[in-house]
Amino acid sequence: MKKLNVGVIGCGAIAGIYIHNLKYHFDKVEVVACSDLIPEKAEEIRAKFDLKRACTNEEMLADPEIDIIMNLTIPKAHYSLNKAILNAGKHLYCEKPLCVTLEESKEIIELGHKLGLRVACAPDTFLGPGIQTVRKLLDENAIGKVTGFSINLLNPGSELWHPSPAFLYQAGGGPMHDMGPYYLTALTTLLGPVEEVFCYASPSFRPRDVRTAVLETTEINTNYNGLLKLRSGVYGNINMSFDVWKSKNNGMEIYGTEGMITVPDPNATQGPVYVFRGREFMAEINTIPREEFVKRLMFIHDGEEKYYQEEPLAFVGGNNMRGVVVVDMAMAIQEGRPHRTPGEIACHIVDILDCCDQSAAEHRVVEVNTSFEKPEAFYPVADGLWLGDLGTASNFV
């Protein structure tokens, strides 16, 4: 079957790893063109990856050879470009967030449906072996009935790692809007949609020296402490902050009646998955003499390692599989099946993010009204999407 052709709009920091993976690893689509507001950046990417052409956005939209356009621009540019891409008759893949507001996101989803075009959105990290191994464990009832979860991402901000991070302190940025989508996509694709949100939020560190500028204020909150209740009735916390110098409390955990799962970093596709089989640990504790038992209670970690084990991954894929969604969508188009990251997931995530801000502003519980159907588990070996091990490439290649 002929490979679908892909164009890339936005040749900034994240573009390289996408094109690298699509060109050198997946080999299921053809990246043919790229554009950027700054023509030199488009030309640089074209030359680096030996693409057919660098062009303007308008030329890309009018190009009959292109089937799918990847929008890798900054969040504020997503809505207008997404609309233009669909109206040009191209399938759309957009970096997160789909749009900055829920209304815009809904409009894009509806336009895609109306025009019979696919809409997919980042993050795709939940399709990696890390989160999919957690999915497998939950499906196999490894920790019994899920009773709760905890999400903590606490660090001093994007200036730590991004070459020009000012846009990450504008609408669509900050710890919740920039990093929240990874954690919330992992959470909701594993445990189902969110129903209610309660949140406190504020901007705490200011002024901020973001390397390219000193920001007296930020457009967005940079410190969030929230609670989420899922439609299943399960609830847990989400603490996202760019205003914490250091924390030993980072990560994501899922709790159940039989044990606990340590979820690997949802911002990467692969990482270690640990399961604590609490019920089995207690069963052993209950067999030991009283004096020994008291000692074990005082030093509860004694002997628990046996029950807190790293699980083998469901498949090996590498740490950075960016682009896998584009491949899944391209194959889904050709096979006439649904793709695994429909825009409805991204829309629900934008809804949750908005509700966090609304809850913080109005000091009340806010209902989340969007939802989505849980996607099929992903096992690329069986799906003919086997990539091999992509290794440990970073975001910047």
Ligand X SMILES: NC(=O)c1ccc[n+]([C@@H]2O[C@H](COP(=O)([O-])OP(=O)(O)OC[C@H]3O[C@@H](n4cnc5c(N)ncnc54)[C@H](O)[C@@H]3O)[C@@H](O)[C@H]2O)c1
Single-letter amino acid code for the residue at 218: T
Per the structure block, which two tokens stand in for 58?
């308008």
Q: Which residue, 108 or 275, has its beta carbon nearer to ligand X?
A: 108
147's enclosing H/E stretch is: strand 146-154
Residue recorded with tokens 């063109």: 33
Q: Which residue, 85 or 197, has its beta carbon nearer to ligand X?
A: 85
CB of 367 to ligand X, least distance (A): 27
Query: What span, in angstroms and rounded, lies between the C-alpha atoms of 205 and 156?
Result: 9
CB of 70 to ligand X, least distance (A): 10
Query: What span, in angstroms and rounded, lies between the C-alpha atoms of 366 and 177?
Result: 17
CB of 222 to ligand X, least distance (A): 16
Residue recorded with tokens 């939209």: 61
Q: Which residue, 13 or 316, has its beta carbon nearer to ligand X?
A: 13
Q: Which residue, 35 or 262, has its beta carbon nearer to ligand X?
A: 35
User: In sequence order, what E strands does the chain have?
Assistant: 4-9, 29-35, 53-55, 68-71, 91-94, 119-121, 146-154, 194-202, 208-209, 214-215, 223-230, 235-241, 251-256, 260-263, 274-276, 308-310, 366-367
Q: Which residue, 57 or 221, has its beta carbon nearer to ligand X?
A: 57
Query: What span, in angstroms and rounded, lies between the C-alpha atoms of 125 and 390?
Result: 13
CB of 42 to ligand X, least distance (A): 8
Q: Which residue, 34 or 238, has its beta carbon nearer to ligand X?
A: 34
Report the sign of the C-alpha dihedral through residues 285, 290, 296, 298, in that order: positive
Q: Which residues bind ligand X (CB under 6 A)?
A: 9-14, 35-38, 41, 57, 72-75, 77, 81, 95-96, 162, 164, 167, 178, 395
Answer whether 329's CB lies under 8 Å from 339's CB. Answer: yes
CB of 172 to ligand X, least distance (A): 7
Give the rounded distance of the alpha carbon of 135 from its chain centre. Answer: 15
Q: Which residue, 90 or 277, has its beta carbon nearer to ligand X?
A: 90
